[in-house]
Amino acid sequence: SQESIVEQVKSEEGKKKIAIITSGGDAPGMNAAVRAVTRAGIFYGCKVYACYEGYTGLVKGGDMLKELQWQDVRGLLSIGGTIIGTARSKEFRERWGRLQACYNMVSNGIDALVVCGGDGSLTGADLFRNEWPELIKELLGEGKITKEQYETHRNLTIVGLVGSIDNDMCGTDSTIGAYSSLERIIELVDYIDATAASHSRAFVVEVMGRHCGWLGLMSGIATGADYIFIPERPPSETNWKDDLKKVCLRHREKGRRKTTVIVAEGAIDDQLNPITSEEVKDVLVEIGLDTRITRLGHVQRGGAPCAFDRFLATVQGVDAVRAVLESTPAIPSPVISILENKIVRQPLVESVAQTKTVSDAIEAKDFDKALKLRDQEFATSYESFLSVSKYDDGSYLVPESSRLNIAIIHVGAPTSALNPATRVATLNSLAKGHRVFAIRNGFAGLIRHGAVRELNWIDVEDWHNTGGSEIGTNRSLPSDDMGTVAYYFQQYKFDGLIIIGGFEAFTALYQLDAARAQYPIFNIPMCCLPATVSNNVPGTEYSLGSDTCLNTLSGYCDAVKQSASASRRRTFVVEVQGGYSGYLASYAGLITGALAVYTPENPINLQTVQEDIELLTRTYEEDDGKNRSGKIFIHNEKASKVYTTDLIAAIIGEAGKGRFESRTAVPGHVQQGKSPSSIDRVNACRLAIKCCNFIEDANFQVKHNANLSADERHLRFFYDDGVKTSAVSGKSSVIDDNTSVVIGIQGSEVTFTPVKQLWEKETHHKWRKGKNVHWEQLNIVSDLLSGRLSIRTT
C-alpha cells in the first residue's frame, strides 16, 4: 500500500548501494528493468550504480561502475536491448575475476547486486554470493581493504531478474524478453503465411532455442503451424519423417493451401541426433511441396519490448529493490518470477538447479521428465498444440454416444482474439468427433434469423491470426427473446455453450443461467470466456484481446511521445478506452512511463491536477532544455465527468505559461487492435481448450452417471461432484459445483467461477466491472516511477 511504502522510505534501515547488471544475451525489456531498479532504488533512498558490459564491468571497475540518477533512465521503457551493455565475461568465470569484482564492489561501497540475465548469469551470481565471505577475507588479508570495509560488507545481497528470450528458467511462467521475441516471430510468420498461401508453398521456419523449445512451441500454437520440432519432445528417429509427411498431407487434403513447420535451433530426435531445417525441407519436397526455409535469426532478439515485457520488467524491477531492502543473511537469494498474473519470489539456487536438470534429462533421453520439469503449463501447451494440429487423424474420436453439439457465440464489442479462440475450440472439438455450431451475429442473429452455422476444419483453420469476429458479434442479449433462444437450443440440441466476449457476454451467461427454471433446455454446461479490451469481466484478471490492445497503445504512445519530444515543449493527454474500468489506463500508464494516470477508481480533483502540473514543471526544469523524452498523461475516457481529457489538456496548457503547451490524442477504436498479439493467441488456445474440457467432462458425467438418453439429457442436467477434479487439468480448479461459469486467471491460478456468485457478490453493476480492482498496484508502481508518489509523500 501507499502507506507502507511511505513508512519504508522514511526508515533509514537497510539503505543500500545497489548495482544493476544486464548479462548474457540481450533481451527486450532489460532497459525497462534498469529504469525500474534505478528509480525504485532512488525512491527508497538507496544509491544505484550501473555496471556496464555485464560482469566485465564488475571485474574492471573504474568508469564501468557509474552511479545513475533519476533522469539518466528517462525514456528507456520503449528501447530494446540494454543501454548499459551486456557481455559474456570469461574473467568472471575465474576465481581471480570474482576476487577483483569483490574488490571493486567493496571499494565503491556497493553491497547489493541486481542481476538481469539468463540461467548462466544467475548461476554466476549465486556462486559469487557463496564465495563472498572467502573473497572478502582474502582482500582483508592482503591489506587491500580496511577492517571497517570488511565489517560493513561481510554479506552480499543478490537478487535475480530473469532476462532471456528463451524462457528457459524453471519456476517462472515468463522471462523478460520472451514474449517480445515471440511477438517478432509471429509477425514474421504472418508475412510468410501470406506468400505461402498465395503460392501454395511450404515454409520451414527456424526459431531460436538451442536448449529450450518454448519459442518453438508457442510460435507453433500462435501461427497455426502444422508441425513443430522442439528439444523437449523429440520425435522417433525411425519414423519422424513419415509422421511429418502424414500430418502435412492430411492438412493439404482437407484444403489447406500452405504448410508451416517450426523448427527450434536445438531440435533433435529421440536418439539425440540433430534435426535440421534442411532435413525437414527435404521431407516436405518428397511429398511434392514447393518448400523454402526461413531462418529468423537475430531479428528475434531485437526491437522495442512488447507491452507485457515492459510490465514484467517494471514490476519485477521494483520488487527486486524491495527484495534487496528486505534481505538478511539468512534469506536465500531470490529470483523474481511470475506465475500466471502473480509476481512471486523463488529461491534462486533452486530455480537454477531445476533449470539445469532439464538439459540433464534431455541428455539422459528422459523426455517426459524434461517436459514436466519445464513447468506445468509447458506440458499442457504441448498437448494443446497437438490437439489442434495432430489429433485430427481420427484416432482421438470419443465413442459415438459421447459426442456433443457445442455452440460458440461472440457477444459484445470485437476484440482481437475472438477468432483464434473459436478456431481452437472448433479444431479441438472436431478432433474428438463433436460437432461445433457458430451462432452468427450474436443473440440478435439467433433470435431474428436462427443464424446458426456448423463449423468445419477448413472454415476455421486460418483464423489463428485474424482480428475482429468471423462469425459476427454485437451487444444483443438473450433476454431480448429468451423463448426463441430456447427454441433454437432445442432445435440444435446443444450440449454446451461457449460465450466469448466482455461484460455483455458475462451478462448473457447470467441471464441464461437464471432462465434455467423456466427453460430446462439451458441446463447444459455454459462457459464465458472473457474477451474485452477493458478487462472488466468479474472473475478474471485477464481478458483475451486486452494484451493486443496494450501493444497497440504502447506503439501509439511511443509515437505520441516522440512527437512531444521533437517539439520540445509539448505534453500530450492521451485518452484511452475502458469504460468505468481503469485497467487499460493503469496498465498503459505503467508501460509508457506516463507522468500521471487518471482512472475512474481514483477521483480527480483540483489538488491532484495541481500536483501533477508541479511534477510536470519540475520534470521540464530537470531536463534543462535537453528534453530527451516526451511527456504524456493517460486519461481514461470515463475518469471524470468534470475533468475531461480536453479540460485537463487546457489546464496544463494554461499552467505552462509559455514554458510548455499541451495537446490531446485519442486513439479511439484503433485500440481494438488488428492482428491478435502472441499472448492473446496463446491464451486463446489454452483457455478455449479448458472451456471445451469443462463442457465435455460435465456432459460425460451426466451420461455415465445419470444414464440418460440423448433426449433426456436435453431436459435435465445432473452435476456430479466428481466432475470438479476431472473437468480441468493442470493448475485449473473448479471452485464450485456449478455449470454456468466464467473462466479466468486470478492470482496464480486458472479458475472457473459460477456466474451466479460473481453476479450477486462480486459485480459492480452500475460501473459494469468486478469489485476487485486488481490493477491498483499498477498505479502505485507507476506513480513511484514517474515521481508522482514522491511529490505526494514529501
Q: Which residues are catalytic?
A: 166
Q: Which residue is nearest to ligand ATP (CB)?
A: 120
Q: Which of 47, 88, 245, 764 binds ligand ATP (CB under 6 A)?
A: 88
- Closer to ligand ATP at the Cβ: 23 or 640? 23
Edge-first strand order for the sheet with 596-598 is: 596-598, 631-636, 570-576, 661-665
Residues between 43 and 62 that touch ligand ATP (CB under 6 A): 55
Q: Distance of alpha carbon 658 from its chain centroid, rounded?
A: 42
**What does the alpha-carbon distance between residue 131 and residue 117 come to, in Å, rounded to a whole number?**
20
State the greatest distance between any 2 C-alpha atoms of the chain, in Å, as a whole number. 90
Residues 744-773 binding ligand ATP (CB under 6 A) are: none
698 is written with which cell numbers?
Answer: 460435465
Q: Which three cell numbers stand for residue 697?
A: 467432462
Residue type, 104: N
- All cell numbers assigned to 358: 532439464
Q: How far apart are CA 610 and CA 769, in angstroms?
A: 29
By CB atoms closer than 10 A (0-12, 13-18, 19+), residue 91 is middle
Is residue 89 within the footprint of ligand ATP (CB under 6 A)?
Answer: yes
Among positions 312-351, residues that touch ligand ATP (CB under 6 A) are none
User: Under 8 Å CB-to-CB from 736, ≥6 apart: which residues?
Assistant: 753, 754, 757
514 binds ligand ATP (CB under 6 A): no
- Residue number, 23 or 739, with CB nearest to ligand ATP: 23
Query: Closer to ligand ATP at the Cβ: 232 or 279?
Result: 232
Q: Which is nearer to ligand ATP, 163 or 502 (CB)?
A: 163
Q: Rule CB under 6 A: is residue 123 a binding residue for ligand ATP?
A: yes
Beta bridge partners of 750: 745
Distance, in Å, from the CA atom of 485 to the CA atom of 407, rounded to the nearest integer, reads 12
Question: Which 135-164 residues touch ligand ATP, going by CB under 6 A?
Answer: 164
119 binds ligand ATP (CB under 6 A): yes
Number of residues counted as binding ligand ATP (CB under 6 A):
18
Query: In angstroms, what is the minimal distance from the CB of 458 to ligand ATP?
Result: 40
User: What does 480-545 look like in DSSP terms, one character per residue?
Assistant: GSHHHHHHHHHHHT-SEEEEEESHHHHHHHHHHHHTTTT-GGG-S-EEEEEB-TT---TT-S--BT
Position among 14, 45, 61, 120 found at the interface with ligand ATP (CB under 6 A)? 120
Considering only residues 5, 21, 23, 317, which one is a binding residue for ligand ATP as defined by CB under 6 A?
A: 23
Q: What is the grid cell recorded at 80?
A: 530494446
* 117: contact with ligand ATP by CB under 6 A: yes
Q: Does 660 bind ligand ATP (CB under 6 A)?
A: no
CA distance 643 to 247: 59
166 makes contact with ligand ATP (CB under 6 A): yes
Among 41, 85, 118, 496, binds ligand ATP (CB under 6 A): 118
Range in contact with ligand ATP (rule: CB under 6 A) among 100-108, 118-126, 352-360, 372-380: 118-126
Question: Whole-number minimum distance, CB 176 to ligand ATP, in Å?
Answer: 11
The single residue among 24, 28, 496, 502 that binds ligand ATP, judged by CB under 6 A, is: 24
Distance CA 528, CA 767 (A): 20
Kindly indicate which of the ranges 112-120, 305-313, 356-364, 617-625 contains the residues binding ligand ATP, using the contact rule CB under 6 A: 112-120
**H or E element, residue 115:** strand 112-117
Question: Given candidates 28, 81, 124, 231, which one binds ligand ATP under the rule CB under 6 A?
Answer: 124
Cα-based angle 48, 50, 54 (whole degrees, multiple of 5): 140
Of 160 and 445, which CB lies nearer to ligand ATP in the complex structure?
160
Tell the residue number behind the cell numbers 454456468, with chain if given.
740
Q: Compare residues 166 and 697 and give the one whose CB is closer to ligand ATP.
A: 166
CB of 25 to ligand ATP, least distance (A): 3
Establish how many alpha carbons lie within 13 A of residue 106's alpha carbon, considering only the half-sphere containing its beta carbon: 28
User: What nine digits make up the cell of 406?
Assistant: 457445442
Report the residue number, 55 or 308, with the smaller CB distance to ligand ATP. Answer: 55
Cell of 718: 445432473
- Residue 240 has a CB neighbour count (10 Å cut-off) of 20
* Residue 558 lies near ligand ATP (rule: CB under 6 A): no
The yes or no reply on residue 234 touching ligand ATP (CB under 6 A) is: no
Q: Which of 121, 739, 779, 786 binds ligand ATP (CB under 6 A)?
A: 121
Rounded Cα distance, 65 and 46, in Å: 16
Range in contact with ligand ATP (rule: CB under 6 A) among 21-29, 454-462, 645-653, 722-730:
21-29
* Footprint on this chain of ligand ATP (rule: CB under 6 A): 23-25, 55, 88-89, 92-93, 117-121, 123-124, 127, 164, 166
